[in-house]
Amino acid sequence: MQKHIAVILGDGIGPEVTQQSLKVLDAVAEKFGHEFSYEYGLMGADAIDKTGNPLPDETLEICRRSDAILFGAIGHPKYDNDPTAKVRPEQGLLRIRKELQLYANIRPINTYASLHHLCPLKPQNLEGVDFIIFRELTGGIYFGNKQKAEDGSSASDSCTYTREEIERIAHLAFHFAQKPERRKKLTLVDKANVLETSRLWRKVVQDIAPQYPDVTVDYMFVDNAAMQIILNPKQFDVVLTENMFGDIISDEASVLSGSLGLLPSASVGTGTVLFEPIHGSYPQAAGKDIANPIGSILSTALMLEYLGMNEEAKLVRKAVEWTLSSKFVTKDIDPLNYYFTSTIGDLISDFVADRIPTDINQLNIELRKSTLI
Ligand SMILES: NC(=O)C1=CN([C@@H]2O[C@H](COP(=O)(O)OP(=O)(O)OC[C@H]3O[C@@H](n4cnc5c(N)ncnc54)[C@H](O)[C@@H]3O)[C@@H](O)[C@H]2O)C=CC1
Ligand SMILES: CC(C)CC(=O)C(=O)O
Ligand SMILES: [Mg+2]
């Protein structure tokens, strides 16, 4: 198969984790005889530095003519620490989501036995955790009208949802809950006891639920959901929620897996689909070769599946699991004995391309040891 991929490296650790995904794609191409071509687009602080615009139109054109988009992360402390900045990297990310109508961000949450010790929860509460968050991505407070008083005495962000915006992601989540491998349970997370938009979400979900009689629906306020994710994460199957709640509870849920650096996502909509780790640009790690590339690599596995390459996706996941269980891990997983980002990318791509020697002691890789956490 020949596939054309738009690649947006972005800022901070974005480029270094995405480079590992590209290595893995090259290994997939080698093993299965595919051909991937790449076209690079600018976004974020990098794009502002080079063009003055956080999302140049050229990037959108590259994305539109591609079969899929692979994105790293954006964001830079010089904007995070300047509340007066008018142009910000995040505007690029919000705009690409809106322009490409990427209305659903799908974030699978699962755990790995070899990483249970990283989570403060008891291992018996982690075994079998397997849920998926459907986060609305092009509406709500992130896209509402923003106002600021001239004298700086007040500011507001408004939150708006239309029935149609809720319906389209709700149908997607219900369909997903019906899949044979799911437990046929959908939990709507909202704040319907306070917010008018949340009451609309409840009404819309109640209205369409009868179309999916095999799916059990329950409703949970977001404050309770934040607690339940920690208290009893196994109760969740498919979680449906609005933009900001989904952003927050999915970072929280990454604690169950062991690191924010492990979690992948797919942003789907009406056109080209975008694949991105759920983390941000982690600027403290930028250029140090210590970030975990697995969130990006598992996003690449989701991309392969979307491109119809199921066997390839399965092999990439197997390679990831092999590195984790063999203790080939980055600093977030084991701060005392860790490997570089690029080494993990090499190992996962070597596994995919059958280049790992039977005796792994023959691997010529550098183990970093640190006494500092
Ligand atoms: N999709 C995107 O591009 C996103 C961008 N951002 C931006 O990223 C910048 C930093 O934001 P933060 O709130 O610090 O979030 P962040 O996700 O970049 O990092 C938060 C913490 O998570 C851990 N972490 C994140 N990614 C990791 C990885 N790959 N490997 C190991 N550990 C990892 C680190 O401990 C880090 O301090 C900001 O400018 C923010 O606006 C934040 C979230 C999403
Ligand atoms: C940087 C924000 C716009 C988004 C975010 O935190 C996310 O998509 O996870
Ligand atoms: Mg986030």
Q: Which of 150, 149, 109, 102 is nearest to 128 (CA)?
A: 109
Identify whether the C-beta of residue 109 lies closer than 8 Å to the C-beta of residue 250: yes
Q: Which two tokens stand for residue 300?
A: 């690449």
Ligand 2 atom closest to the Cα of residue 105 is: 8
Where do the H-state alpha helices sit in 8-111? 14-32, 45-51, 57-64, 77-80, 89-99
Choices 1.10.3210.10, 3.30.750.24, 2.60.120.10, 3.40.718.10: CATH for 1-100+271-373: 3.40.718.10
Please give all residues whose beta carbon lies within 6 A of any atom in ligand 1, as ranges. 13, 17, 73-76, 80, 90, 93, 259-261, 276, 279-284, 291-292, 295, 332
Same CATH fold assignment for domains 1-100+271-373 and 108-131+161-258: no
- For residue 11, the CA-to-ligand 1 centroid distance in Å is 11
Task: Please indicate whether residue 251, judged by its CB atom, sits closer than 6 Å to ligand 2.
Answer: no
Q: What is the ipTM of this complex?
A: 0.99
Identify whether the C-beta of residue 98 lies closer than 8 Å to the C-beta of residue 57: no
As a residue count, the chain comes to: 373
Ligand 1 atom closest to the Cα of residue 90 is: 41
Ligand 1 atom closest to the Cα of residue 294 is: 29
What does the domain layout of the chain look like in residue ranges? 1-100+271-373, 108-131+161-258
Question: Chain-centre distance of CA 48, in angstroms?
Answer: 23
* Residuewise pLDDT in 10s, the chain (373 residues): 999 999 999 999 999 999 999 999 999 999 999 999 999 999 999 999 999 999 999 999 999 999 999 999 999 999 999 999 999 999 999 999 999 999 999 999 999 999 999 999 999 999 999 999 999 999 999 999 999 999 999 999 999 999 999 999 999 999 999 999 999 999 999 999 999 999 999 999 999 999 999 999 999 999 999 999 999 999 999 999 999 999 999 999 999 999 999 999 999 999 999 999 999 999 999 999 999 999 999 999 999 999 999 999 999 999 999 999 999 999 999 999 999 999 999 999 999 999 988 887 777 777 666 655 4
CA distance 45 to 73: 10
What's the whole-model pTM score? Answer: 0.97
CATH 3.40.50.2300 fits 108-131+161-258, yes or no: yes
Q: Which ligand is nearest to the CA of 284?
A: 1
CA distance 185 to 190: 16
Give the helix/strand (H/E) hosting 136: strand 130-136
pLDDT given for residue 365 in this prediction: 76
pLDDT given for residue 373 in this prediction: 43
Task: Please indicate whether residue 247, judged by its CB atom, sits closer than 6 Å to ligand 2.
Answer: yes
CA distance 125 to 129: 8
Q: Which two tokens stand for residue 303?
A: 């991309």
CA distance 225 to 337: 35
Active site residues: 142, 191, 223, 247, 251
Cβ neighbour number for residue 82 with a 10 Å cutoff = 11
